[in-house]
Amino acid sequence: MKTRFLGRSGLAVSEIGLGCMGLSHAYGPATDRRAAIGLIRNAVDRGVTFFDTAEIYGPFANEEIIGEALEPVRDRVVIATKFGFDTTSPDTRDQLNSRPEHIRAVTEASLKRLRTDVIGLFYQHRVDPQVPIEDVAGTVGDLIAEGKVRHFGLSEAGANTIRRAHAVQPVAALQSEYSLWWREPEQEILLTVEELGIGFVPFSPLGRGFLTGTIDENTTFDSNDFRNKVPRFAAEARKRNQVLVDRLGVIADRKGATRAQIAIAWLLAQKPWIVPIPGTTKLQRLEENLGAAVVELSAADLSEIADALRGITIAGARYSEELLRRVGR
C-alpha cells in the first residue's frame, strides 16, 4: 500500500483508508464487536494506516471499537474522528453543536474512547450555522497547540466556509461525498482545496454499495438501513441507475478487475491528494477494495469512463431534503 499526503499539511496516510461507520451505524444491525475488531486489524495487516470514525456513529460505539482494535498499533496509524452533533442526550443527537465548550468536551470523551492521547485528524462533521466557523477553527487550533489534536478537517463544507476556516487554522483535509455517481465536488470544491493545499477524503466512494454491482431494483434493505430514506435508492431510481453499473462492468471485465475496484481506482487517478475511505463489514470486500490500489487506469480508460459518464443522468437525490440542508454551507 502506497502513502499519500493530504494536501500540504504533511499528514501522510495510506492511499486507501477504511471508513468504519458501517460497522455500527446507518446500514442495519451493528457488526459483532469481535468481528469488527478483526476486520480493522486485518486492514492494518494489509497496509491501511487511515481509519475514519465519529462520536455520532453508534453513537460512541464506533470510536470504542476503533480504540480497542488499534491500541496495539497506535503509533502506526492515523485515526480521524468528528465533532459537531449534540450527543448530550438521545433527544438532541440530530441537532448540530459546534460551540467551543462542546468541541472541548467531545475531544476529551473521544480521546478516552479511542484510547489515545492525540486525535490525528479532527473534522467538524457538519457546519453549524449558529457558530462562526472562525470560532470553530480557533478552538481546534487551541487543541492542536495543546497537543490533543494534530490536524483540523471539515466535512461537507462549502468553498467560502473552507476559506474562512483555513485563514484561522490550516485545514488539512475536507471530507465529502465524491464518486462516479456524485461528482458535484468537481464544480468548485476540488478547485478550492487544490488552491489552498488541502487534501480531499471522499466518503461513499462506492455509492453506498450501489457501484459494486451487488444492488439492484429488487434489493431489500434492513428496516434500520439509512438507504431506505435516500431518494437515489428508491427502486425506480436504482433501476434507472443500473446503466452506470453496467458500463462499469464492461470496463472492469476488460481490466480484470471488479466494478468496486474501478470506482476506487478512478478516484485515485483524479488527484494525488485524494484518499478514498470505502467501508465494509466483510473481509472479502476489504481485500477487494484495497486491490484497487494496483489497478492502473490509462488515459484511454479514463477517457472511456468520462465519455460514459457524459451520457448518463443519475436518478435521485443523494440525501433527503432535510439532510441536504446541512451540506455545502
Phi, psi of 186 (to 5 degrees): -65, -20
Phi, psi of 203 (to 5 degrees): -95, 165
Annotated catalytic residue within 57, 123, 178, 319: 57
- DSSP string over 117-165: S-EEEEEESS--TTS-HHHHHHHHHHHHHTTSEEEEEEES--HHHHHHH
Q: Cβ(289)–Cβ(260) under 8 Å?
A: yes
Q: Cβ(199)–Cβ(174) under 8 Å?
A: yes
Q: Could you confirm whether 57 is annotated as catalytic?
A: yes
Are β-strands 3-5 and 12-14 bridged in parallel, bridged antiparallel, or unpaired? antiparallel
Cell of 79: 485515526
Q: Which residues are catalytic?
A: 57
